[in-house]
Structure 1
Amino acid sequence: MTAAVMYEQGLPAPYEESRPFRIEEVELDGPGDGEVLVEVRGAGICHSDLSVVEGMRKRPLPIVGGHEGAGIVREVGRGVKGFAPGDHVAMAAVAGCGQCRTCLSGRPGLCQAVSGARADGVLANGARRLRFLDGGRLNHYSGISVYAQYSVNVPQSLIKIDPEVPLDVASLFGCAVVTGAGAVFNSAKVRAGETVAIIGLGGVGLTAVMAAREAGASQIIGIDVLPSKFALASAVGATTCVNALDAHAVQLILDLTRGGVDHAFEISGNSAALDMAQAITARGGEVVGVGLGKSSAAFTVPQNAWVGEERVFRGSFLGGGIPQEDIPKYVDMYLRGRLPVDKLRSEHISFEQLNKGFDLLHGGGVVRQILLPHGAS
């Protein structure tokens, strides 16, 4: 099959020239016991993928990229229940073992066993199905590797979806949607009438805007360094948009909200944005960290203000919930027009356009480009 293989991280932009991804023919073994073969029909290009290209978070190399996708089940291994050939599925990087402390408490995203498998470049069950044509070792990305025409997954990575959802749109549910909406619904549990600010208006941030509107937030402030994103943010629910580079941005938000927001979501993974999130959060409010920065990144919390103002700092990883339960809910919201995630689509791209797509994402001019591994059909 055709796949996008990364051999080196940290290559310089423009990526169209340095080519972090090489488009090659590779081998994919069929599904083993307890595994599922999926024909990939759409794969989103996410900022998390960009951070790996940039070398901010290390992965075992060489590796087939992509962690947000959707497709059609083509074959199931022995012992698989709940999936059959022809099923439409979204693929998510959260695949808990189902047996550890965090999985049993309903937090599969924190499963240590699966985190270890992800770091080792294998499927969540420890298997390896990808290889080069000469038999050489080839790694899996987040147990999914959807920058390819086909993907072998464990069932825990798959969520059956209504076939009424176009598969290019369905590809967004496994990361952008489950992360952004989950941060609002699961982690922060935003209630009607509360105020929120969302820093970073990419695919995840815009989904958080939609979810905040669905939750009944009274004020939804979208914040970004690119005003070109404000029209779309307003269209999906932002009541006000603020340029993060405005020297008076923090004071403007404090004035708009009479002292700060109840929930500030930091999506970009930028330390300066985390400082802003703290500054615009009301007494008794919470800062929700969603974006991932460099592995060594840290931020400072003023201790007296943290304690004396009872401010909460909360992490939210991949939506802080259970994708098998959450994604069907979000799909239903989409089909009823309450979560218009199709508006996140910027354009469809081919394998040959993948590296250029990362240049566009790096420049901030797109929200979600969607790779079509089999071309338009």
Structure 2
Amino acid sequence: MKIRAAVVREINQLTIEDVTLDPPKDHEVLVRIHAAGVCHSDLHTYRGELRAQPPLVLGHEGAGVVEAVGSAVTRVKAGDRVLVNWVPSCNHCPTCLRGQPNLCERLSSTTLVALLPDGTTRLKTLDGVTLKHYLSAATMAEYAVIDEASAIPIAEDVPFEVGALIGCAIVTGAGAVINTAGAQPGSSAAVIGCGGVGLSAIMGCKLAGCNPIIAVDVFESKLEFARKLGATHTINAREVDAVEALRALTRLGPDYVFDSVGAAGTISQALKAVRPGGTATVMGMHALKSDVPIPAGPLIAQNKRLLGSFFGSAKPHVDLPRLVELYRAGRLPVDDLVTKRYGLDDLPQAFADMEAGAVARGVIVFPD
């Protein structure tokens, strides 16, 4: 079938064009995409800063309606509303079996290099170039073929844009707080970087009962988003020393610091800022392909913990439905994270708005 999609043929070359999409195989699902979140990971990939390299179709946050299923699919059926889980773990490798499906051993040779779980693709340009599926998803398109494990059913009262964000930003941010760090009620917490993932971490901190919740960013617009979503205090790191400001608010530093940026400077900042014996958790990916210097003194002499968090240390088929139910119960205000909607042709502007701090989270919406 012919569909419209956001295509990166080469690094820093983005086009919205017609491509062909083959039907789903036995264990796959065809989804008509209704909403796709605009994430920094897509921008990093467009610029060649992550493992997945062009040519590919962008997008990994998504939700829509199942149009067709392969002959062996049992979890969903045509007509089901689903969000896209871009971590389609195999659930039988040793890593999955020890309870870490977010680190499934299959991902490194398939999903993380923009292939479907069987190692192939279903996409081509009209001039015959094979396209990969970013994070086994490729949701910045009118339709997507995904593995059955990537389709998580959602209820009729869950908006597609909410489902899309739960599938990445929410689970990555809130999961870092709840799953990776295990933040305790009454503990103090700070979040460095208030984009979609950082704001989701702030929601996670509120859900976990943290107090105070301190947001750190260099954009006043993002700090305002943070206040609306649960931050009790904000720090503009462009105006003051963030580490000193965090210590002033919490005496020795917060119990937990969450770095949603993941740059060399913010990783060091998180480790220095957290109190002695506290936990710094990094879920941002800016320095993913770099070696980063770590201040050994605070880490060792002050008995601090430095943790990495990928996909919120989530068990997708447990945690994604749980987050959906928390949204339905009014405990996760995901609607407030969506601050601007775009058409697919507006993707360059969506990326620009994201970098400028003009949005909490932008979402591409597709007409019915």
Cα deviations by residue, 1:49-96 (Å, 9 ceiling, x for unpaired): 111122222423211110111111111101111201111111122111
- Alignment map for 1:78-227 (pairs within 5 Å): 78-227=71-220
CA 1:347/1:190 → structure 2, altered by over 3 Å: closer, same or farther?
A: same
Deviations 1:269-296 (A, max 9, x none): 2211112111210011011010012443
- 1:246 matches 2:248: no
Partner of 2:5: 3
Which one of 273, 282, 286 corresponds to residue 280 of structure 1? 273
**Are the equivalent residues in 2 in contact too, given 1:50–1:362 (CA < 8 A)?**
no
User: Does the CA contact (< 8 Å) of 1:289 and 1:316 recur in 2?
Assistant: yes
Contact 2:25 2:70 in 1 (8 A): yes
Q: 2:24 & 2:83 partners in 1: Cα distance?
A: 17
User: Shift of the alpha carbon at 1:161?
Assistant: 1.2
| Partner of residue 249 from structure 2, selected from 250, 256, 260 | 256
CA distance in 1, matches of 2:29, 2:266: 40
1:225 and 1:245 in contact (8 A); partners too: yes
SS at match of 1:348: strand
Q: Which amino acid aligns with 1:3?
A: A
Name the structure 2 match of 1:31. 24
Structure 1: segments with no counterpart, 5+ residues: 12-19
Letter in 2 for 1:21: L
Q: Which moved more, 1:278-287 or 1:114-123?
A: 114-123
Counterpart CA distance in 1 for 2:141 and 2:203 is 30
Cα drift, residue 134 of structure 1:
4.2
Tell me the distance in 1 between the aligned counterparts of 2:107 and 2:211: 38
In the alignment, which residue of structure 1 is the partner of 2:336?
Answer: 343
SS at the partner of 1:282? coil
**Aligned with residue 61 of structure 1, among 41, 47, 54:** 54
Output the amino acid matched with 2:8: M
Aligned residue in 2 for 1:17: none
Cα RMSD (Å):
1.4
CA distance in 2, matches of 1:248, 1:141: 38
Q: How far is 1:338 from its partner?
A: 1.0
Matching of residues 269-348 of structure 1 within 5 Å: 269-348=262-341
* TM-score, normalization by structure 1: 0.93
TM-score norm. by structure 2 comes to 0.96
Call closer, same or farther: CA 1:367–1:235 in 2, change over 3 Å.
Answer: closer
How many residues align structurally?
366
Contact 1:284/1:310 (<8 A) preserved: yes
SS in 1 for 2:77: coil
Deviation at residue 109 of structure 1 after TM alignment: 1.8
* 1:232 corresponds to: 225
CA-to-aligned-CA distance 1:16-64 (integer Å, 9 cap, x gap): xxxx321111111111111111111100000111111222224232111
Please give the alpha-carbon distance, in whole angstroms, between the structure 2 residues aligned to 1:249 and 1:327.
33
Contact 2:221 2:357 in 1 (8 A): no
SS in 2 for 1:142: helix
Look up the match of 1:15: none
1:120 deviation in Å? 4.2
The runs of at least 4 consecutive aligned structure 1 residues that moved more than 3 Å come to none
Amino acid at match of 1:99: H
Q: Which amino acid aligns with 1:326?
A: D
Indicate the percent of aligned positions where both proteins have the same amino acid: 39
* 2:83 partner amino acid: A
- The answer to whether the 8 Å contact 1:264/1:286 transfers is yes
Give the letter for the 1:4 counterpart: A
- Partners of 1:117 and 1:126 within 8 A in 2: yes
Letter in 2 for 1:219: P
Q: Is the 8 A contact 1:60 1:119 kept in 2?
A: no
Instruction: Return closer, same or farther for 1:309/1:22 CA change in 2, 3 Å cut-off.
Output: same
Q: Deviations over 1:275-334 (max 9, x none)?
A: 211121001101101001244323222323322211011000011011111111111111
2:264–2:287 CA contact under 8 A, matched in 1: no
Amino acid at match of 2:36: A
Which secondary structure does the structure 2 equivalent of 1:292 belong to?
coil
CA contact (8 A) 2:64 2:83 kept: yes
